[in-house]
Amino acid sequence: MSNLDCQPASEIVIFGALGDLSRRKLLPALYQLEVCGLINEDSRIIGAARQEHSLEEFKTVVLENLNTFVKEKIDDVVLARFMDRLVYQKLDFKEITSFTNLADTLANGNKTRIYYFSTAPAIFGDICKGLNHADLITAADRVVMEKPIGHSLESSIAINNQVSEFFTENQTYRIDHYLGKETVLNLLVLRFANSLFSNNWDRNSIDHVQITVAESVGIEGRWGFYDDAGQMRDMVQNHLLQVLSLLAMEPPADLSAESVRLEKLKVVKALKAINLNNIKEKAVRGQYTDGFLEGAAVPGYLNEDDANENSNTETFVAIKAEIENWRWTGVPFYLRTGKRMPKKHSEIVVHFKKPPHNIFKDSYSDLPANKLTIRLQPDEGVELQMMNKIPGIASQMRIQENKLDLSFSDTYKNERVVDGYERLMLEILNGNQSLFVSRDEVEAAWIWADSIIDAWKASGEAPKPYAAGSWGPVSSISLIARDDRQWVE
């Protein structure tokens, strides 16, 4: 990261500043950077939205949301400094001439301009045209694109083409907030700073890997968006593939954006295709039905408000992903994600191979394999399951399973766990693209995901039902059981 002294003053323009993402994540993240003194004192934050608001009304909205979404007590001194940065600009994103008003607002020096597109991707092109019309794009400016970038390879290419007409790849920051999570970033340290793992991170030592991202919530009123997307597009194509690529990539030459992105891209390109020929053996999709969560009845997907009762959209996906390269051939990566599951729970479990011979049969007839668990949420941390001798003077050596547990909350009691958006916003300010997704990565991920989506569509088979509050359809258990393995729950 750059030092603050090297960081230029910025004009941070948030398009869609009154939207859910801005209120819940972006403005609280910028406030936390203010707390840490990581924003140049001459930087400003311009909220752009269609609504008619005075600056004071906008500040009131911001304060309400900081009080709601910032967990710590608001610091009045920091808050005053943060509020002084705020500017509000009413703007019709689809009206090209309205951007002259934004030009008047931004006409105050040669600051780096950061344009954050917290809007529907369908209007990314309109915003770019408006900025260009108002002569608001220079080589020093940056654009931030929020997912989803399209709903297929074709639409992704179209959106990226619209933006790349005005911004180069070096100016473009495609956000996947999972890449800002402390535990996801810790994958790099775990793998490449510890010889214990770096020397045993391949098909010779690892049996298989499980990646689970479980959500207890339903669609939360987002029926229109979610029914067009589904869990495959909403979670697998981006979040899970990003985690998978960090887990499986070769050591990068350094931590530069170019080196890290290159190795991640190689992993996605090496994924074995899943298509109509092997879809039934390699992938399962499900849709939750009426059920119970925490003792309360919850409606099934087709019984949610505004639901389309004939929808075949999947709310659960399980996949056996295979990477066809020298390091990982023969090591399956089982991916699982769904809504209305028993709890909010995201983790990676790396299962190592069993010892080739057991000399402790009298005490432990079947030695279990070591397991490395990386907890992404809610209790971030790393856990290693291993065998250990039970203390005592008994003539027969007794052994049992134990855990070495590094819980972030326990180990770093005086350190606040940074939200992913805070990390990513800081990297944008510093001009570091290492934690952002390249266009090549996005398109390679869509090629792989589209093949699965197209196969499901061609098969005509409906998603498998699973009760809300369960771990998914029975067929997802069969997916991994066929390989004589089982999900960690």
Mean pLDDT, residues 358-366 = 79
Mean pLDDT, residues 471-485 = 95
pLDDT on residue 414: 63
Residue of 383 and 148 predicted with greater confidence: 383
pLDDT on residue 410: 65
Handedness of CA 275, 276, 278, 280 (dihedral sign): positive
The residues that bridge with 316 in the sheet, in sequence order, are 286, 338
Mean pLDDT, residues 312-323 = 97
Q: If you count DSSP H runs as helices and E runs as strands, how many of each does the chain have, helices first?
A: 17, 17
Extract the tokens encoding 478.
């069969």
Mean pLDDT, residues 4-12 = 73
**Helix, strand, coil percentages in the chain from 3-state DSSP, rounded to 5:** 40, 20, 40
Residue of 384 and 278 predicted with greater confidence: 278
Q: Tokens 């087709």 sit at which residue?
A: 302
Is the per-residue pLDDT at 401 higher than 80? no
Catalytic residue at 239?
Answer: yes
> What is the spatial distance between Cα 450 and Cα 40, in angstroms, rounded to a whole number?
42
Mean pLDDT, residues 362-370 = 81
CA angle, 336 as apex, 331 and 339 as ends, to 5°?
175
> Residue 446: which H helix or E strand, with range?
helix 439-459
* Active-site pick, 151, 239, 345, 351: 239
Mean pLDDT, residues 52-69 = 94
pLDDT on residue 5: 44
> What is the spatial distance between Cα 173 and Cα 176, in angstroms, rounded to a whole number?
10
Number of other residues whose CB lies within 10 A of the CB of residue 116: 26
> What is the spatial distance between Cα 402 and Cα 389, in angstroms, rounded to a whole number?
9
115-151 residue pLDDT tens: 999 998 989 999 999 999 999 999 999 999 987 788 9
1 falls in which pLDDT band (50, 70, 90)?
Answer: very low
pLDDT on residue 3: 44
198-239 residue pLDDT tens: 899 999 999 999 999 999 998 877 787 888 889 999 999 999
62-113 residue pLDDT tens: 999 999 999 889 999 999 999 999 999 999 999 999 999 999 999 767 789 9
Mean pLDDT, residues 440-456 = 96
pLDDT on residue 36: 92
Residue of 412 and 317 predicted with greater confidence: 317
Mean pLDDT, residues 261-289 = 96
Identity at 360, one-letter amino acid code: F
Residue of 401 and 123 predicted with greater confidence: 123
Percentage of the chain modeled with pLDDT above 70: 95
Is the per-residue pLDDT at 2 higher than 70? no
Mean pLDDT, residues 299-326 = 93
Across 48-57, 181-190, 279-288, 478-487, least confident range: 181-190
pLDDT on residue 308: 85
Averaged pLDDT score across all residues of the chain: 90
Phi, psi at 448, each rounded to 5°: -70, -45
Mean pLDDT, residues 152-178 = 94
Is the per-residue pLDDT at 409 higher than 70? no
386-400 residue pLDDT tens: 778 777 776 677 777
> What is the spatial distance between Cα 190 and Cα 266, in angstroms, rounded to a whole number?
20
